[in-house]
Amino acid sequence: MNRIHYTKPSITELEVSYATDAARNGWGEHCYEYIGRFEEGFRSHLGVRHAIATSSCTGALHMGLAALGVGPGDEVVLADTNWIASVAPVLHLGATPVLVDILVDSWCLDPVQVERAITPRTKAIIAVHLYGNLCAMDELLAIGERHGITVVEDAAEAIGSVLHGRRAGSMGRFGAFSFHGTKTLTTGEGGVFVTNDDELYEKVLTLSNHGRSRKQQKQFWPDEVGFKYKMSNVQAAIGCGQLERIGELIFRKREIMAYYRERLREFDGLHLNPEPEGTVIGAWMPTAVFAPETNVTRERLQEAFDAMNIDARVFFHPLSCLPMFEQRPENIHAWDIPGRAINLPSYHDMTEADLERVADVLDALCTRPGGGE
C-alpha cells in the first residue's frame, strides 16, 4: 500500500528548465533576472503595487513589522491558533504578542476578542488566513481604522483565497506569503512581501538589502542596519514556472477540497474548511474538525490514518500552550479544537483512489444522520 503524504509540490519540466537556466546562466549581470521576473509576476497576480521576494514568509513579516516601527514596549495582537512563524518576528523585534481566541467556524482571528485586547500599546494586528481560510478582514480593518492600528496579513497559506473580489494578502497595510515546499506555489523555501504603500515598500526594500538604499550612490554604503532575507535567483526561476501554472495549481487544490466536501457531506458532527458566500478559498490544507459529541479525538485520527499508511497532520496547537508563552486557556476554541481535528492530504497529483482511501478512514469514524455508523 503506497504512502499517501499530506502534501508535496507539483514540479514539471517547465520549472526544471527555468532552474537549470538560472544555475547555468544566472550569474554576474544576470543574477537578479529571475527574481525581478518573479516579483513582477506575483505582483500582477495579486493585483498590488509592489512585491519583494524573500527567503521566507517569516522574513517578510519581520521586515514589514520592523519597517512599521514595531519594537520594545509595543503589543501585537494575533490569534492563539497559529504556527510559531507568525509570532516569531514579533518576539525578535522585542514586542509583546497578545494571543486571542479564534472563531469556531473559520479558525481565524476573532474580531470581538481583538477589540477587547487593544490597549494604548497596541501597534499592529496580524491577520493570519489559517489553512487558506479567510479572516474577517472587513471587521479587522474597521477595528484598525477606529483605533489607528495597522492591520497586516500573514497569507502564507492563502494563495488563491479571495474575499469579495480582493485577494488574500492585498487588503492590509502589507501582506506576506510563503513558498515553502508544502505550499500551493513553491520555490522550495521562500516568501514574498507585498504592499500598496509606496513609502513602506521603499523602507522594506532598503531593509532587505542590508540597509542599503537604492538611491545611495556610494558603493558598499549601508544607510542603516538591515536584513538578509533575499530569495536566490534559482529559487525565483522555479517560482516563475510555478506562476505560469498558478491557475491550474489553485484549481487542483480546490478540486481536492470539493471532493472531500462532497464525499463527507452526509456525516453529522464533521466540519471542513468554510467557504461563506462572497469568498473563494485557495484550499491549501483541507481540515476536518469533529464536533465534541462525536468523541473523535486527534489521537484516534492519527492512529486510524497511520494504520492505512497515510500522513495526516495535526491541527496547530495553541501558541499559548507552548513553554515560551504564558498559558491562555480562556482562549477556549484555540485550546479545544486541536484535540478533535486533523489536516487531510491534498497534494496536487493525488489519485481518486488516494482520495478515496483518505475519505474511507474518516468514513469509519463518522456518524451518519440518524445516529448510525
* Same domain? 111 vs 160: yes
Residues of the chain where predicted confidence (pLDDT) is lower than 70: 367-373
Q: What is the pLDDT of residue 203?
A: 98
**Pair (53, 178) in one structural domain:** yes
For 91, 166, 301, 367, 368, the CA distances from 364, given in Å and listed in that order, are: 43, 39, 10, 8, 10
Neighbouring CB atoms inside 10 A of 295's CB total 12
pLDDT of the residue at 289 = 97
The C-alpha atoms of residue 110 and residue 79 are separated, in whole angstroms, by 8
Q: Are residues 239 and 250 in the same domain?
A: no
Whole-number pLDDT of residue 353: 97
Q: Are residues 288 and 344 in the same domain?
A: yes
Residue 22 in domain:
yes
Query: Which pLDDT does position 368 carry in this prediction?
Result: 59
What are 53's three cell numbers? 521576494
Place of cell 538591515: 226
Q: How many domains does the chain have?
A: 2
In this predicted structure, what is the pLDDT of residue 266? 86
CA dihedral 70, 76, 78, 83 (to 10 degrees): 50
Does one domain contain both 264 and 238?
no
Nearby residues of 137 by Cβ (< 8 Å), 6 or more positions away: 127, 151, 153, 163, 166, 171, 172
**What pLDDT sits at residue 366?**
83
Question: What is the per-residue pLDDT for 370?
Answer: 52
Residue type, 222: P
| pLDDT at site 338 | 98
Residue range(s) defining the domain that contains residue 258: 246-365
Distant-in-sequence, close-in-space partners of 350: CB < 8 Å, separation ≥ 6: 4, 256
Q: What is the pLDDT of residue 373?
A: 52
282 is a domain residue: yes
Q: pTM for the full model?
A: 0.95
Q: Which residue has the cell 494578502?
A: 169
Work out the angle at residue 83's Cα, subtended by the Cα atoms of residues 81 and 89, and round it to the nearest 5 degrees: 110
